[in-house]
Amino acid sequence: MRGSDRIGFLDTMDTGNNFCCGIVRPLTTYSWQFQDSGELLACSRTGPSRKLRHPLMEKNIESHLIEKRVFKPAPGFAKRARIGSLNEYRRMHRESLEKPDKFWSREAGELVWQTPWKTVLEWKAPFAKWFVGGKLNVSENCLDRHLTGPNRNKAAILWEGEPGDKRTLTYQQLHRDVCRFANVLKRNGIRKGDRVIIYMPTIPEAAIAMLGCARIGAVHSVIFGGFSADSIRDRVADCGAVAVITADGGYRRGTIVPLKKNVDDALTGETSVKRVIVFRRAGNDVHIEEGRDVWWHRELEYVDANCPPAQLESEHPLFILYTSGSTGKPKGILHTTGGYLVGIYSTTKYVFDLRDDDVYWCTADVGWVTGHSYLVYGPLANGATTLMYEGAPNWPEPDRFWRIIEEYSVNILYTAPTAIRAFIRWGDEWVKKHNLSSLRLLGSVGEPINPEAWMWYHEKIGGGRCPIVDTWWQTETGAIMISPLPGAVPAKPGSATLPFFGVDAAIVDEAGQEVGPNIGGKLIVRQPWPSMLRTIYGDKERYKKTYWSEFKGSYLTGDGARRDKDGYFWIVGRIDDVLNVAGHRLGTSEIESSLVSHPKVAEAAVVGRPDELKGQGVIAFVTVKSGVEATRALKDELRNHVGKHIGAIAKPDEVRFAEALPKTRSGKIMRRLLKEIASGNTVTGDTSTLEDFNVLAKLSADE
Ligand code: PRX
C-alpha cells in the first residue's frame, strides 16, 4: 500500500454535499462499521432505490494491518514526563470534565492575573465567558512574567531567515522590542479594541507586532503572506481594520514576495485603514504613501521602552483569524484573552511536555492558527525557546529542515503531514546527511497523517525513539483538542488518540446519538472549553448556525471520525464543502466565486481529489460563456486568476471545461459526482436525482 492509497480511502468518505457518516441524503441513510484495524467491516444502506450504492461500498478497502501497531511511551520518557501514565491521564481527564472549575482554576492560577477572576465559566449556550471578572494581559504573561527569574536571558526566539540570516532574542530583548513597538502603535493612533491587520513573513517582527497589539489591547488579524491583495481587502472590510502592519517583502524559495505592494493594491479606493507600518525586511523597492505609510525603524526613534501592559478583561478580544467555511465568505474567528491564554498555555505544557532547556520548533507560518498558538503564544507563555524559520523546507535544498535541527539541536519538532509526505518523496538521503539525535518529541497537525507517513516520521526522523503527538484541532478550537500526551498515552499510527483535558468529544449519528465503537459519525464537542472561539466576528447568527444548531448545546466540528474500542479517535476529514489542501482549509465556494468572477466563465464547481503530497488537490470544472473558446491558454488564465484573487494556495491543480455541470432538479450542483470523476473513478453513487444524464456521460468521456 502506498501513502496515497490511504488518503484515497479517506477521501472517498467525504462525498462533498451529500456526505456524512450515517446519512448521505435525506432519503438514503448509510452507516458503516470499521474493524479496529481500520478495515471496513460493513456498510449498509436504507433508502428508496435498491440500486443505489455509496462509493464506500464499492471501494476495495485494503488491509490496514499497519494500524494495529501500538507504540507505548518509552519508560525513560514517561518517567520524566509531566503526565507519566495512562491512569494519571484518565484521572485528570475525568476531573477536568467533572470539576472543570477546579481543574481550570489550577491551570489559570499558574499565570499572572492583574485582577483575579470571580467565576470560571458563564455558559449561556452557545456563548461562553471564561474567567469572568478577571483582568490580565497576554503579552505580560508571555514576557514580563519571565523577567524576574532565570529565564530573563534565555532565548525566547531563535530565528533563521530563508537566505540564512540569523537572530536570537532573549526574553528581555523581546520584552523591550514589544514595549517599544506597542508605543509605536499608540503613537500612530491605535487604541484598545482597534482592529489591526498583520501581513508579514515569519520573522520576529511578526511576533513583536502580535504581542505589541496584545499589550495595548488592539485586536490583531494576521493574514497569511501567501494570500493576495483581494483577500486582504475582504478581511480589512470585514473587520474594519484601522491599520496594517506589513513588510516590504518576504523570502520564499529564493524570490521576494512583494507584501507591501499587495497591501497597496488592497487599499485602493475607500478603506477604513488610516495607517500602514512597514518593516524593512527584504530591501525591495516600495511605494510609501504620504500621510498613510510609515517605516517601522523610523517610528522606533520616537519611542521609549516603557509601556505597562493594558489591564484587559478576560473576555477582551485578542485576535480574529479568518478561515474558510462552506460559503464563499471567510469567517472571522474571534478568540479572547483569558480562556485562549489558559488553553494554549496548558496544551503546550502537557502535549509538548516542555522542559526548561528545550529548543522547540513549530514549522507553521504565523498566518495560520498553528503559528498563533504554537509558534508564538503557547511557547512564550511557557517561557520556552521557540525557533522560527521564514522560508520553504526545500530551499536551497530539500534538507533545510534537517540542517536547522542539527544546527540548533532542536528537541521538539511540530510539523504537518503534507510536509512529511514531501520529505518522503524527496528521499531519505537528505535526512541521512544530518545528525538529528537532539530530537526527543515529534508532532503532527493540520490533516490526518497516514500510517505510512507516521512510520517514516517515527523511524527516519525520530530514530525510532521519539513519541509522536498527532494533534487534532481547528482555528475555531484555538488549542489542541485531541492528542496523545507523550508520556502517558500509547500512540497508534494515524490516530489522534484521546481528548485533551476539558474536552468532551464524541461521535454521533444524524440524530445526535453517540455511536458505538468503530462506527463512523460526526465529531462534536459537548462542553465548552477555555480556548473556544467566542463568535464569528460581526455575525453571531452565522456562529450559532454553523457550529451550534445541528446538535443542541454541542459544538459541531465539521469533521467525520470514528472511535475504536479503546476510545481512540480516528479523524476522517471534513464533511462540509471544505478542502484540506496541504493542511490548510479552503472553501470550495470561495474558489468557485473567484472563477465565476472571471468575465469568460459562466459556471464553476470545485472539488477535491486525493493528492499524494497535499492531501487534497483542487480540481475545477468550468463552463464558459457562449462564444468563448475553451482553450489551454484559458485554463492557465483561470488558474492565475484564482491565484491573484485568493492566493497561490487556492490555484486549481487542474481546470476542466465542461458543456454543463451535473445538477439536481432543484439546481444544486452534484459535487459528489464531480469528485468521483476528478478522482478518475467511474460514477457509482446515487444519480437518481440528476437532471440530465447526458451531462454525466460527457464529463466522464472528457477525461
Ligand atoms: O479537518 C481537520 C484538520 O484540519 C481542520 C482544521 O483546519 P484549520 O482550522 O485550518 O486548523 C489547522 C491547524 C489546527 C480540522 O477540522 N485537522 C487538523 N489537525 C488534524 C486534522 N485532521 C486529522 N488529524 C489532525 N491531527
Q: Which of 559, 562, 568, 570 to mutate to test the pocket of ligand 1 (most atoms within 8 A of CB)?
A: 559
- The residue whose CA is least distant from atom 5 of ligand 1 is 474
- The residue whose CA is least distant from atom 8 of ligand 1 is 474
> Counting beta carbons within 10 angstroms of the beta carbon of residue 46, is it exposed (0 to 12), middle (13 to 18) or buried (19 or more)?
exposed
DSSP structural state of residue 649: G
Between the CA of 614 and the centroid of ligand 1 the distance, in Å, is 13
What amino acid is encoded at 257 in this protein?
V
Q: Is 468 in the pocket of ligand 1 (CB under 6 A)?
A: no
User: Any idea which residue has 467491516 for its cell?
Assistant: 41
Between the CA of 567 and the centroid of ligand 1 the distance, in Å, is 19
Q: Is 574 in the pocket of ligand 1 (CB under 6 A)?
A: yes
Q: Which of 476, 525, 562, 580 to mutate to test the pocket of ligand 1 (most atoms within 8 A of CB)?
A: 580
Q: Which of 447, 536, 559, 563 to mutate to test the pocket of ligand 1 (most atoms within 8 A of CB)?
A: 447
Q: Is 547 in the pocket of ligand 1 (CB under 6 A)?
A: no
Give residue 684's pLDDT.
65
| pLDDT of 35 higher than 70 | no
Give residue 3's pLDDT.
29
**288-314 pLDDT, tens per residue?**
999 999 999 999 999 999 999 999 999
The CA-atom distances, in angstroms, between 1 and each of 6, 133, 381 are: 8, 55, 42
| pLDDT of 39 higher than 60 | no
Q: Is 474 in the pocket of ligand 1 (CB under 6 A)?
A: yes
| pLDDT of 393 higher than 60 | yes
> Which of 70-74, 101-105, 597-601 is predicted least confidently?
597-601
- Note the pTM of the prediction, 2 decimals: 0.86
Rounded to 5°, the CA angle 244-247-251 comes to: 140
| pLDDT of 166 higher than 90 | yes
Give residue 569's pLDDT.
97
DSSP codes of every residue in 507-530: EE-TTSPBP-TTB-EEEEE-S--T
| pLDDT of 199 higher than 50 | yes
Give residue 13's pLDDT.
25
**614-645 pLDDT, tens per residue?**
889 999 999 888 899 999 999 999 999 999 98
C-alpha cell at 142: 508571555
Q: Is 478 in the pocket of ligand 1 (CB under 6 A)?
A: no
**Ligand 1 nearest atom to the CA of residue 480, by list position:** 14
Asked whether the beta carbons of 331 and 481 are under 8 A apart, the reply is no
Q: Is 131 in the pocket of ligand 1 (CB under 6 A)?
A: no
Q: Is 461 in the pocket of ligand 1 (CB under 6 A)?
A: no
Q: What are phi and psi of 170, to 5 degrees?
A: -75, 170
Distance between CA atoms of residues 193 and 145, nearest Å: 24
Task: Kindly state the helix (H) or strand (E) to which residue 560 belongs, with its residue range.
Answer: strand 555-563
Q: Which of 473, 522, 547, 572 to mutate to test the pocket of ligand 1 (most atoms within 8 A of CB)?
A: 473
What amino acid is encoded at 168 in this protein?
T
User: Any idea which residue has 492565475 for its cell?
Assistant: 640
- Domain assignments of the chain as residue spans, ordered by start: 171-310, 578-701
Give residue 40's pLDDT.
46
Q: Is 615 in the pocket of ligand 1 (CB under 6 A)?
A: no
**Ligand 1 nearest atom to the CA of residue 364, by list position:** 13
> Which of 68-82, 218-232, 481-495, 657-671 is predicted least confidently?
657-671
**Ligand 1 nearest atom to the CA of residue 584, by list position:** 10
Q: Which is nearest to 278 in space by CA: 205, 225, 214, 369?
A: 205
CATH topology of domain 171-310: Rossmann fold (3.40.50)
| pLDDT of 598 higher than 60 | yes
Q: Is 139 in the pocket of ligand 1 (CB under 6 A)?
A: no
DSSP structural state of residue 471: E
Q: Is 420 in the pocket of ligand 1 (CB under 6 A)?
A: no
Q: Is 608 in the pocket of ligand 1 (CB under 6 A)?
A: no
Give residue 415's pLDDT.
97
By DSSP bridging, strand 654-657 and strand 615-624 are: parallel
Distance between CA atoms of residues 364 and 281, nearest Å: 19
Among positive and negative, which fits the CA dihedral 27, 33, 34, 39?
Answer: negative
Between the CA of 583 and the centroid of ligand 1 the distance, in Å, is 7
Between the CA of 619 and the centroid of ligand 1 the distance, in Å, is 21
Give residue 676's pLDDT.
85
Task: Give the 3-state secondary structure percentages of the chain, helix then strand then coil, rounded to 5.
Answer: 35, 25, 40
DSSP codes of every residue in 665-684: TTS-B-HHHHHHHHTTPPP-
Between the CA of 492 and the centroid of ligand 1 the distance, in Å, is 18
Distance between CA atoms of residues 703 and 680, nearest Å: 8
What amino acid is encoded at 141 in this protein?
N
Q: pLDDT band at residue 667, thresholds of 50, 70 and 90?
A: low
Q: Is 450 in the pocket of ligand 1 (CB under 6 A)?
A: no
Q: Is 446 in the pocket of ligand 1 (CB under 6 A)?
A: yes
Between the CA of 533 and the centroid of ligand 1 the distance, in Å, is 15
Between the CA of 110 and the centroid of ligand 1 the distance, in Å, is 28
- The residue whose CA is least distant from atom 25 of ligand 1 is 472
Between the CA of 266 and the centroid of ligand 1 the distance, in Å, is 29
DSSP codes of every residue in 67-82: GG--BPPPHHHHHHSS
- CB atoms < 10 A from the CB of 102, how many? 11
CATH of 578-701, one of 3.30.43.10, 3.60.15.10, 3.40.190.10, 3.30.300.30: 3.30.300.30
Q: What is the mean pLDDT of the chain?
A: 88
Q: Is 369 in the pocket of ligand 1 (CB under 6 A)?
A: yes
**460-506 pLDDT, tens per residue?**
999 999 999 999 999 999 999 999 999 999 999 999 999 999 999 99
Between the CA of 473 and the centroid of ligand 1 the distance, in Å, is 5
Give residue 665's pLDDT.
67
**Ligand 1 nearest atom to the CA of residue 558, by list position:** 16
- The residue whose CA is least distant from atom 15 of ligand 1 is 474
Q: Is 472 in the pocket of ligand 1 (CB under 6 A)?
A: yes
Q: Which is nearest to 244 in space by CA: 258, 232, 226?
A: 232
Mean pLDDT of 349-375: 97
Left if phi > 0, otherwise alpha if psi is -120 to 50, otherwise beta: which for 134?
A: beta
Distance between CA atoms of residues 459 and 193, nearest Å: 48
Distance between CA atoms of residues 535 and 539, nearest Å: 7
**258-277 pLDDT, tens per residue?**
999 999 999 999 999 999 99
Helix orientation angle between 171-187 and 204-216, rounded to the nearest 10 degrees: 60
Task: Kindly state the helix (H) or strand (E) to which residue 442 belongs, with its residue range.
Answer: strand 441-445
Stronger pLDDT, 519 or 17, i.e. the higher one? 519
Q: What are phi and psi of 152, to 5 degrees?
A: -50, -45
Left if phi > 0, otherwise alpha if psi is -120 to 50, otherwise beta: which for 353?
A: left
Q: Is 349 in the pocket of ligand 1 (CB under 6 A)?
A: no
Between the CA of 448 and the centroid of ligand 1 the distance, in Å, is 8
